[in-house]
Structure 1
């Protein structure tokens, strides 16, 4: 059984408070909460964060019946379930999460800009950065689904 290494919010409440402030700010940028949760789930999948995957899949399900979206998110390119706007966001989220591999190619930037203005483009990058920070904090401290309730 996995064991929580450190409860970061108790050991360094200032770090936790700063992370929450970024999350609150970033969350407020999105009127489309489904899009925001899909982004957080996909980036958490890439980063391998079980805690965040569990949390955000449950958050998305609270917004409606999105079970198929959750199940098929790793193969979003192969299914017609996702809108063109969601596809552009997912491709950008993957590129930013894996930024060292190829950056964000110009053709991807142009495709994303067909659906998002300049400010929204920056918002998407901020959202990827925020959930990536949460992922790293959760993984490095040994968080897992239910770790605070067991």
Structure 2
């Protein structure tokens, strides 16, 4: 795949705004490991290879296990994710796959059992942010680096 447009250099002000938005996400009280899972899962749904590559690499560097990364797309069928992580992944899928239907009270209440309201707002902002990156990268076909993936031991 060939990159259509290098939006980083073509419009630095827009890129800077995205980076500032991303920096806010990194200052929340949400666990880094949880944020990486959310970023990876949204990127999987959106088929953003660049972001899947980046965030699986980042998650590995932060100590995430290969097993959990392999099973992330099947988190519902895996016992490797905590109830809080499962709630965040449910929220990620729900917000990422909005189809013109409102988010159900059932899902909202289920997720709210695991997050303070302020943290749920930050989680929603975080999901929105990765979805923006996914859409930018998909629209302009930003290619992921081609390098050997290092496996955690």
| TM-score tier after normalising by the smaller chain length | over 0.9
Distance of 2:9 and 2:134 partners within structure 1? 18
Gaps of 5+ in 2: 147-153
**Higher helix proportion, which one?**
1
TM-score, reference length from structure 1: 0.93
Q: Do 1:43 and 1:128's aligned partners in 2 also have CA atoms closer than 8 Å?
A: yes
Q: How does 1:14-53 map to 2 (within 5 A)?
A: 14-53=13-52
Distance of 2:64 and 2:24 partners within structure 1? 26
RMSD between superposed Cα atoms in Å: 1.2
Partner of 2:53: 54
Q: How does 1:1-150 map to 2 (within 5 A)?
A: 2-100=1-99, 102-146=101-145
SS of match in other structure, 1:104: coil
Report deviation, 1:5. 1.2
Distance of 2:102 and 2:134 partners within structure 1? 20
Distance 1:65 1:95, change over 3 A: closer
Runs of 4+ in 1 over 4 A off after TM superposition: none
Distance 1:132 1:65, change over 3 A: closer
SS of match in other structure, 2:99: helix
